[in-house]
Structures are given as structure tokens and as C-alpha cells.
Amino acid sequence: MFYYSTNKQSPVADFKTATLNGQAPDKGLYFPKTIPVLQKEWLNHIESASFEAIAYDVIQPYVGDAMPKTILQNITAETISFPIPMAGISNRISSLELFHGPTLAFKDIGARFMSRCLGYFAKTITKKITVLVATSGDTGGAVAHGFYNIPGIDVVILYPSKKVSSVQEKQLTTLGNNIHALEVKGSFDDCQALVKNIFSRHPEFPSLFLTSANSINIARWLPQQFYYFFAWKLWDKKKGTPVIAVPSGNFGNICAGLLAYASSLPAKQFIAACNANDSIPQFLKTGLLEPKPTIPTLSNAMDVGHPSNFIRILELFQHQLPELKNILTAYSISDAETINTIRNTYQQYGYLLDPHGAVGFNALEKYFRHHPQDNGFIVETASPLKFYDLMEPIINDVMPVPAHIQHLLSLPKQSRIIENNVEELASFLRKM
Ligand SMILES: *Cc1c(COP(=O)(O)O)cnc(C)c1O
């Protein structure tokens, strides 16, 4: 499989080169030249296939001959070595729980897959691979855990000071070793801008092989298709083809869902559930894509004013807005609606949604008001435990915090505070 850049100015790359580069040299995002189609026969037998077999079959065409079969089989099996259940909430809405991995959010899957691919490719690179990543909350922990102690790779994580939850902060600042956490006095967009700026100055760091672990990297983006095929395996087919609501920030996850759909995954509609950061819901309404400054919300991992992966969705639909709108609906949900949804689903159904899942649930309910025959599921992207300090006052109840979380919270934070200043970051990297 070859990947071209969405800016069309860079040469095509195979899976290995595209994974190592992260972003294409012309600053575009890599996009597969062809979309593999999964056979009807394969989809019809999905209920009897194992998660490992499904994951391997989905990703193999994208990896091509960049890796031997047994290596890729091991990597996919390790990537998904935790439960991924579908839980019922109401009679129309289920929850695909993607938060049973080590950092309690769906990003574990992409980060585990990418770190193992990079670890395999690192053996052929003589320079020290340095993964630079900006996080709005969950990426940092997932990437830190994915790459922890992988030989030949250092990770530098930039996160916005005071804008991540205490569990999130501890997940990315307590590992040490090859994981370096930088606490930036600024927003997530500032962190992302710092990372972009450093990439444009790559030649100034001749001893480092710099790459990114943000969701623009194909090795993080593509394995997210697994969720949607697992969901189809688990889905009660008597309920018809599902409407799928995806809490969205940088739009990597939902873009993987739409890619799966292009490969023949059955789906009735995708719902992009956004918080107050509404540039995509506005775009689908007006046709104008206007990046906006980030608005901080309760669903902080979705606080993205300028979603980088949306360009891939446009590419997938060949920039044909009417076709995109046939399958994609977007809603912007306020913090007040998020709080009400958490409280109501807890009281009514005994199901505790995290703030991101609550945005998804609310958006799906809105859609269902106009589609009374449909059923569907939300992609529950994080565990409510990750936000327990925020959740308890909302549900007016105590959430038992499991021992491993209590232990995490007791560990000392190891981070370095930096200004929102690229020179400070550059000098840190020169000393690595
Ligand atoms: C990252 C994240 C999102 C947003 O995912 P995107 O792929 O950036 O759209 C949603 N929910 C949680 C919990 C996250 O960590």
C-alpha cells in the first residue's frame, strides 16, 4: 500500500516511511492510495471470527509488505489485549466501551499499535528516534504507556498546564525513563503549534530522528478502524444497521470509522458529537471551514478548535460535501447538556457516562428525535473514573476509586514547566 500527501507535493510513501515521517514533508497528511474492500463473505462471518483475526485482516492491506506476517500478528494481538465490550444503556442506545486499556481511554489502541510498529522500524534507523506529541489530555498517557521502555525511542509530551484532569496528568508524568513530560503555560492548540514549529526546523536537530505520535500518524489513525468492526461483530443485528455516535475532537477516530465504512462496514449514519468547539458542525451547516480558538470544556480531550484529521474525511469523500452529508451528521453539545446527560443516564439507566461519552449520548438522542425507527451505539471513549473529581458532584454520589488509580495518584509528578515559547522547547531538545 502507498500513501500520498493531502497537499499532493510529496512523493508517495509506503507504510514504514509514512509511519516514521508522521506528517508528509509538504505538511500534508498521508492518505491511502486505494481503500481495501472487505468481502461480504468476511462480514457475514464476523461473529465467529476472533478480535485478533478481525484486526489483522483489517490492517494487513494497509501495512502491505512493510512487515512479516508473524510480526504484524503479534503487534495486533498485543494492541487489543484487553476487553472491548458492547454494553446496553437504553433500549435504543448501547455503548462500545473502549476504555478498558491501561490508560482508560480508546487512545490506548492507536498508541499501542503505533509504538510497536515504530519499535520494529527503529531497528533500521541509526539516529535516536524522538517522538514529539502534543496532548489535550488522553493522548499523552496513552503514548507514554505505549512507548514506555521501548528501546531506541524517546518520547517528549507537551500538555497544557492545569487543563488536564489529575488522573490524566499522573498518567503522563509518572513513568520517567524514556518518557519526558513538558507542562506548557498555554492551551492544547499552543502545544500543537510548538510541535509543528519544531518539525519545520528539523535540520537544527541533526542527531535526532523527530517524529510525531499525534493522531495524524497513520499508525495511530488506521488501527482505530478495529473498533467499528468489533462493534459490528458484537452488534445485535436484529436492531438493524446501527447509527454510530463518536465523541470527536481532532476527528481521527470518526475518520477511521468513515474509512471502515468505505471498506464496506455496515453503518446507517455517523454522528460527530462535538462539545462547544463546533467548527465541524458549523462547516456542515454553512460549507465554511473556519478554525476557531479552543474553548475549554468538561470533555477536555475534545477541546480542539482546528481538527487536523478533518482534511482526511474531505479527502475520503473527494471533497463532495453532499455525499459526506448523506452519512455524517454533527452536533455541538454544551457543558450544561453534558452534565444533564451524565446525571439522567445514571439515574434512569444506572449507567455512568464519562463527559465525552455523554456528549455522544446527547448527540445520538438528538438525532433519534428525528429518526424514530433507528438504533445505535455510542463509542464510549474514556472511563468515567478518569474524571472522578468532576463526576462525583454531578451524580451526587461517591465513585469508588480502584486501588491502581489511587496508587497512580500517589506517585510524584515528574514534569518540566515551559513557557509557550518555541526556543525553550528547542533548547530542551538540543540537550537530549
Ligand atoms: C481524544 C479523545 C477524543 C477525541 O478523539 P478524536 O480522534 O481526536 O476526535 C474523545 N474522547 C476522548 C476521551 C479522547 O481521549
pLDDT at 80 (0 to 100) = 96
Among the ranges 65-79, 193-207, 377-391, which has the highest mean pLDDT value?
65-79
How much distance in Å is there from the Cα of 295 to the middle of ligand 1? 15
**Average per-residue pLDDT in the chain?**
95
With the most atoms of ligand 1 within 8 angstroms of its CB, the residue from 95, 98, 99, 107 to mutate is: 107
Q: Give the span between the Cα atoms of 142 and 245, in whole angstroms.
A: 22
Alpha carbon 55 to its chain centroid, in Å, reads 17
Task: Count Cβ atoms below 10 Å from residue 25 Cβ, excluding itself.
Answer: 14
Overall average pLDDT of the 252-269 stretch: 98
**pLDDT (tens digit per residue) in 314-369:** 999 999 999 999 999 999 999 999 999 999 999 999 999 999 999 999 999 999 99
Overall average pLDDT of the 392-404 stretch: 89
Secondary structure of the chain: what % helix, strand, coil (to 5)? 50, 15, 35
pLDDT at 137 (0 to 100) = 78
**Any ligand 1 atom below 6 A from CB of 252:** yes
DSSP-derived secondary structure letter, 236: -
Question: Cell match 492551551: residue?
Answer: 187
Q: Give the span between the Cα atoms of 271 and 250, in whole angstroms.
A: 14
Q: Which residues pair with 96 in a beta bridge?
A: 86, 379
Q: Give the span between the Cα atoms of 387 and 385, in whole angstroms.
A: 5
Alpha carbon 98 to its chain centroid, in Å, reads 11
Question: Residue 87: is its pLDDT beyond 90?
Answer: yes
With the most atoms of ligand 1 within 8 angstroms of its CB, the residue from 138, 306, 383, 385 to mutate is: 138
C-alpha cell at 145: 504507556
pLDDT at 156 (0 to 100) = 97
Question: Cell match 494497509: residue?
Answer: 62
* H/E run at residue 350: none
**pLDDT tier, 183 (very low <50, low <70, confident <90, very high otherwise):** very high
Integer-rounded Cα Rg, in Å, for the chain is 20
Tell me the pTM.
Answer: 0.94
Q: Give the span between the Cα atoms of 428 and 413, in whole angstroms.
A: 19
**Any ligand 1 atom below 6 A from CB of 75:** no
**Any ligand 1 atom below 6 A from CB of 380:** no
- Label the pairing between strands 86-88 and 179-185: unpaired
pLDDT at 330 (0 to 100) = 98
pLDDT at 63 (0 to 100) = 98
How much distance in Å is there from the Cα of 69 to the middle of ligand 1? 30
The CA-atom distances, in angstroms, between 340 and each of 15, 35, 358, 370 are 44, 40, 9, 21
DSSP-derived secondary structure letter, 398: P
Given a contact cutoff of 8 angstroms between Cβ atoms, the answer to whether 95 and 89 are in contact is yes
Q: Give the span between the Cα atoms of 251 and 2, in whole angstroms.
A: 22
**Any ligand 1 atom below 6 A from CB of 110:** no
**Any ligand 1 atom below 6 A from CB of 251:** yes
**pLDDT (tens digit per residue) in 209-253:** 998 887 789 999 999 999 999 999 999 999 999 999 999 999 999
Ligand 1, residue 138: give the atom nearest the CA: 15
**pLDDT (tens digit per residue) in 102-144:** 999 999 999 999 999 999 998 888 888 999 999 987 899 999 9
Given a contact cutoff of 8 angstroms between Cβ atoms, the answer to whether 307 and 248 are in contact is yes
**Any ligand 1 atom below 6 A from CB of 105:** yes
Q: Give the span between the Cα atoms of 196 and 132, in whole angstroms.
A: 10
Q: Give the span between the Cα atoms of 148 and 280, in whole angstroms.
A: 34
With the most atoms of ligand 1 within 8 angstroms of its CB, the residue from 99, 108, 381 to mutate is: 381
How much distance in Å is there from the Cα of 302 to the middle of ligand 1? 6
Given a contact cutoff of 8 angstroms between Cβ atoms, the answer to whether 297 and 240 are in contact is no
With the most atoms of ligand 1 within 8 angstroms of its CB, the residue from 104, 106, 191 to mutate is: 106
DSSP-derived secondary structure letter, 38: -
